[in-house]
Amino acid sequence: MTQNAERRIVPLQPRHIAQVADIERRVFSDPWSESMLRAELENPLARWFVLESGGRVCGYVSTLDICGEVHVTNVAVLPEHRRRGIARELLRCAVDFARSTGAFSMTLEVRRSNAPAIALYRGFGFEPVGLRPRYYENPREDALLMTLILREDPLC
């Protein structure tokens, strides 16, 4: 986990659920419910990390580790905390986590129109590998599928 004088990244805990659900509602058109988030605490494949500042959750990243491929399911930052490097810190945490597990790759989907997120992911070495037509709703949009190769030997 990373930490500095003002903020720290820690694993998702029950005390974070309400704040993460609030971020979901504020950031995504199809947010996860509190019950869905609580279920993730019990999912052995899921790892969620939250960035706290002053006792408040400012953002989070969620992943699923499926047979050595870590899928980034969400990266979200409160709108009033954007452009402060929080998404970068969270993604760095997720990449470090994936490497620590011995994962061979990471994948994610991003709206084709989300140029800032695409630039962030490219900065970590993620490359576009395909499209998922009509993946997103509200508004309907294709997803760009991006992958980061962590090691060349994908055999378990």
Range 7-149: architecture per CATH: 3-Layer(aba) Sandwich (3.40)
Cα–Cα distance measured from residue 71 to residue 64, given in angstroms and rounded to the nearest whole number: 5
Tokens representing residue 45 in the block? 């494949």
**This prediction's pTM:** 0.89
User: At a CB cut-off of 8 Å and minimum separation 6, what does 102 contact?
Assistant: 68, 151
Mean pLDDT of 120-135: 94
Catalytic residue ranges:
109, 121
Phi, psi of 149 (to 5 degrees): -85, 125
Residue-wise pLDDT tens digits, 68-127: 999 999 999 999 999 899 999 999 999 999 999 999 999 999 999 999 999 999 999 999
Half-sphere exposure of 69 (CA within 13 A, CB side): 10
Nearest of 101, 149, 97 to residue 125 by alpha carbon: 149
Tell how strand 69-77 and strand 105-111 pair up. Answer: parallel
Q: pLDDT tens digits for 3-60? A: 555 889 999 999 999 999 999 999 988 899 999 999 999 999 999 999 999 889 999 9
* 117: enclosing H helix or E strand: helix 115-123
Given a contact cutoff of 8 angstroms between Cβ atoms, the answer to whether 147 and 132 are in contact is no
Every domain of the chain and the residues it spans: 7-149
